[in-house]
């Protein structure tokens, strides 16, 4: 029995990592993901500073407080640990900033027959990404109640919920880039379950520190293959 098609899409994305153009995009994507993670973490430190009069002493890490501790060694370790959760919104923000570069690199290698598409205005891409990010944050805030009741099932519930949202976002943005919004929505509705599974399989490694830095790039690449396969 052959591998599930989503793993075929992911394998194609993985194999392209050695290609010079894609490797450049991957390195830039890791830098962007790390920058976004630092920004989200800085906001987290700002909350600590706003609600706590001093630093918080975390075992094995040390004192972590407001923005002034952002560059400390203990703060860096905490950021990497918190990336288990923080990389989900980072991946959502990433899609609006870097999707075009990744999708173009994949299409140049695997789908050279496709006609060129005009680059989406950054403002339009950011608008969609901000809307998705707001939805993701709102849903996760509401879901905190269910996480508290889920016990050992918190990780699969977290991955399933965020996989639903990330799969919807990545597939929609990749498909809209080439086929327009109405066609992308129709395609997404037709293949809802497959897109959800792909999103969950993306959300799970986003919870693995350091590994999660490459996932946004590989996620866009995987969904680019997926859109082309489903559109055929």
Question: What's the Cα-to-Cα distance from 149 to each of 12, 53, 57, 143, 153, rounded to whole Å?
Answer: 39, 31, 27, 10, 9
Give the count of beta carbons closer than 10 Å to the beta carbon of residue 176. 22
74-92 burial: b if 16+ Cβ within 10 Å, else e: bbebbbbeebeebbbbbbb
What pLDDT is recorded for position 1? Answer: 36
CA atoms within 13 A on the CB side of 210: 2
Does residue 57 surpass a pLDDT of 60?
no
According to DSSP, residue 6 is labeled H
Question: 99: closest CA among 40, 175, 9?
Answer: 175
Global pTM reads 0.83
Residue carrying the six token digits 């016990």: 151
Give the pLDDT band (50/70/90) at residue 64.
low
Q: Give the integer Cα–Cα distance in Å for 136 and 18.
A: 32
What pLDDT is recorded for position 60? Answer: 45
- In the beta sheet, which residues pair with residue 63? 57
SS3 assignment, position 79? helix
**Tell me: the pLDDT tens digits for 190-206?**
999 999 999 999 999 99
What pLDDT is recorded for position 79? Answer: 77
Which range, 59-63, 147-151, 198-202, has the best average confidence (pLDDT)? 198-202
Domain boundaries, the chain: 5-231
What pLDDT is recorded for position 2? Answer: 42
Does residue 3 surpass a pLDDT of 70?
no
What pLDDT is recorded for position 230? Answer: 92
What pLDDT is recorded for position 87? Answer: 87
Give the pLDDT band (50/70/90) at residue 66.
low
Residue 159 · residue 204 · CB < 8 Å: yes
Residue 162, token pair as written in the block: 């965020």
Q: Give the integer Cα–Cα distance in Å for 199 and 203.
A: 6
Average pLDDT value over all residues in the chain: 83
Residue 122, token pair as written in the block: 């950054």
């Amino acid at each position: 029995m052959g591998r599930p098609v989503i793993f075929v899409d992911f394998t194609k994305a993985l194999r392209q990592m050695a290609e010079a153009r894609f490797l450049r995009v991957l390195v830039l994507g890791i830098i962007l993901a790390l920058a976004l993670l630092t920004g989200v973490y800085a906001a987290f430190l700002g909350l600590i500073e706003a609600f706590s009069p001093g630093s918080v002493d975390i075992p094995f890490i040390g004192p972590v407080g407001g923005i002034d501790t952002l560059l400390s060694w203990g703060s860096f370790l905490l950021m990497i640990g918190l990336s288990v959760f923080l990389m989900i919104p980072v991946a959502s923000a990433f899609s609006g900033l870097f999707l075009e570069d990744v999708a173009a690199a994949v299409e140049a290698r695997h789908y050279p027959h496709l006609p060129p598409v005009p680059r989406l205005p950054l403002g339009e891409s950011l608008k969609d990404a901000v809307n998705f990010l707001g939805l993701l944050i709102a849903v996760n805030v509401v879901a905190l109640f269910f996480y508290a009741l889920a016990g050992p099932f918190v990780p699969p519930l977290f991955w399933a919920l965020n996989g639903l949202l990330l799969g919807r976002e990545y597939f929609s943005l990749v498909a809209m880039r080439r086929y327009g919004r109405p066609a992308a929505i129709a395609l997404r509705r037709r293949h809802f379950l497959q897109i959800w599974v792909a999103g969950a399989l993306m959300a799970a490694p986003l919870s693995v520190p350091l590994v999660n830095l490459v996932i946004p790039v590989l996620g866009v690449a995987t969904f680019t293959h997926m859109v082309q396969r489903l559109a055929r």
